[in-house]
Structure 1
Amino acid sequence: MQNENQLAEAAAERQAALKGFANELLTAAETLEPVAPLRGRLEGMDVDDAYVVQTLQLEKHLADGRVLAGRKVGLTSLAMQRQLGVDSPDFGFFFEDMVHNEGARLAAGAFVSPKVEPEFGFVLKEALQGPGVTVEQARAAIGEVYAAIEIIDSRIADWDIKLVDTVADNASCGAIAVGTTPLPVSVEDLTTVACTLRINGEARESGTGEAVMGDPVAPLAWLANVLGEQGVALEAGQLVLPGSFTKALPVVAGESATADFGDLGSLTINFI
């Protein structure tokens, strides 16, 4: 009985610590005062713990009336995995009030330390419920493909993050920009599509869809299956960003960022 009580107390203490991390990150998002890395602050903290922290924040936002617009998958390219020193993808969420369009003027000071990533934006025409979703089933669920830019941001001080830190911090999601006109491309051809990330019009990074887990639809299937294990479905009409073509680049006030898909179109946003 004593051991059972000790285990229950330890579990309660752990849950309280995770809730405390969630509250720290919620406060940091409001004050723009970043927090110390979470890894090492709770013995044995793992990715499952980090997703508990993320989910607690999601539940708080939803309770406050924010409307879920979609999900993002991160760390899907070798460039981003190398940049952050990890070897697996992660995912986060974003709300309708975080989604912007072509020509948006975003206050750089509304973020802690923003960076930009060029991506596809998938709008689903039908729901995806895992587990067991295949890449082909995910491909069939995509309605339109848009140019997109994710503004990533870290509520962890100095971008000093490992996987548990970024997962807990909503996969470092800051905001989303998405085009208003679908790219004229078949979902079967996404691996060969090229995209250049331009800062103030200058080409800085480039890649093809193949850089996104070999096939940018693969992260969508992965996400559907991971969420499905939690009893959560991706719904028709939701926007999903499957990951970056390139490594992320920092931006400051006075700069523009463009996801340039060549003849297919582009998306530009401005930081003020």
Structure 2
Amino acid sequence: MNNELINQLGDELYNAFVSQTTLVPFTEQFPDISLEDAYRIQQRFIQCRLDAGESVVGKKIGVTSKPVQDFLGVFQPDFGQLTSNMIYAEGDTMNLDELIQPKAEAELAFILKEDLQGPGITAMDVIRATDYVVPCFEIVDSRIDNWKIKIQDTVADNASCGVYVLGETRGDPKKLDLTLAGMVLEKNGELLSTSTGAAVQGSPVNAVAWLANTLGTLGIPFKAGEVILSGSQSQLVPIENGDTLTCTVGGLGSCSVSFQGHTAVQRKAQTTSQENQA
């Protein structure tokens, strides 16, 4: 793809983000689109957000667990960038009116105290560079019609990143077995799923090392203070007005988030229904 088309598609994603609309999958419009093209589109999309006043505060790893891969039909990890407008604190009520077609993932977040520059980063390097870990939720949200995505679509769409919520309980990764630590996910007080850190590329630490090395080959470092979302340990969870989700990690603690409002897709469906009845 030439630069003009890359910029056009990145701008289309940004406009869809702002207007809370969705786009026909790029893989349908351009069957020959490559992963390299998709990451260049992502960079343009992110640059639009930076030009609007946001800043990059971290990175995310996507499509790491089998349940998420099976749901999306995507079978390799990807990455995106976290910006300053994506952050929620535990205890906040998330406004679904600001999202298009969100789904929730439970995972671990790594907050760094040192820079990391791949390639050659090991799991031990990640642990040494991490200030603390917290349980968290990433609320993924797609600007692509009906989540009909292939790997190129989600990569271009900043790895389908929406917003995220960090738990308040901090843990020392040197004192936790992040591979074997169990995670329990509850929705509205009912058990939804259980997992361990091993569901994420054998360990969340491995996933973070993979991303550090992948970005390192592109000349992009991890920076001290950044948040790194290590990838979902749960299934993708649909969310609606009034829902509350809680994930609890053994030896670490819990993170909870509640939701109110109605997504853009829900509002559109309601409007269509009312028009059909009129």
Per the normalisation by structure 1, the TM-score is 0.91
> Is it true that 1:225 corresponds to 2:223 in the alignment?
no
Counterpart for residue 81 of structure 1: 69
> Is it true that 1:261 corresponds to 2:260 in the alignment?
no
**DSSP-derived class of the 1:146 partner:** strand
**Structure 1 counterpart of 2:195, from 166, 190, 207:** 207
1:67-78 aligned at under 5 Å gives the runs: 67-78=55-66
Change (3 A) 1:270 1:140: same
> Is it true that 1:137 corresponds to 2:106 in the alignment?
no
> Is it true that 1:238 corresponds to 2:226 in the alignment?
yes
What is the rounded CA distance, in whole Å, between the counterparts of 2:31 and 2:148 in structure 1?
A: 18
Amino acid at match of 1:78: K
> Is it true that 1:125 corresponds to 2:121 in the alignment?
no
What is the rounded CA distance, in whole Å, between the counterparts of 1:259 and 1:206 in structure 2?
A: 9
**DSSP-derived class of the 1:138 partner:** helix
What is the rounded CA distance, in whole Å, between the counterparts of 2:248 and 2:176 in structure 1?
A: 20
Gaps of 5+ in 2: 261-278
Work out whether residues 185 and 191 of structure 2, in 8 Å CA contact, stay in contact via their aligned partners in 1: yes
What CA deviation, in whole Å up to 9, does each residue of 1:190-224 have, x standing for no partner?
A: 00111122111211122100001001111111111
What is the rounded CA distance, in whole Å, between the counterparts of 1:230 and 1:62 in structure 2?
A: 20
What is the rounded CA distance, in whole Å, between the counterparts of 2:50 and 2:203 in structure 1?
A: 32
**DSSP-derived class of the 1:223 partner:** helix
**Structure 1 counterpart of 2:29, from 41, 58, 61:** 41
Amino acid at match of 1:50: A
**1:163 offset after TM fit, Å?**
0.4
**Structure 2 counterpart of 1:168, from 149, 156, 161:** 156
**1:185 offset after TM fit, Å?**
5.7
**DSSP-derived class of the 2:15 partner:** helix
What CA deviation, in whole Å up to 9, does each residue of 1:46-71 have, x standing for no partner?
A: 11110001011122222332121111
**Structure 2 counterpart of 1:158, from 139, 142, 146:** 146
**DSSP-derived class of the 1:94 partner:** strand
Gaps of 5+ in 1: 1-10
What is the rounded CA distance, in whole Å, between the counterparts of 1:178 and 1:248 in structure 2?
A: 18
**1:139 offset after TM fit, Å?**
2.1
What is the rounded CA distance, in whole Å, between the counterparts of 1:17 and 1:185 in structure 2?
A: 43
**1:29 offset after TM fit, Å?**
0.6
What CA deviation, in whole Å up to 9, does each residue of 1:243-269 have, x standing for no partner?
A: 011111110111111112255311111
**DSSP-derived class of the 1:191 partner:** coil
Per the normalisation by structure 2, the TM-score is 0.89
Change (3 A) 1:31 1:48: same
Query: Identity rate of aligned residues, in percent?
Result: 38
Work out whether residues 169 and 254 of structure 2, in 8 Å CA contact, stay in contact via their aligned partners in 1: no
What is the rounded CA distance, in whole Å, between the counterparts of 2:142 and 2:212 in structure 1?
A: 25
Counterpart for residue 21 of structure 1: 9
**DSSP-derived class of the 1:176 partner:** strand
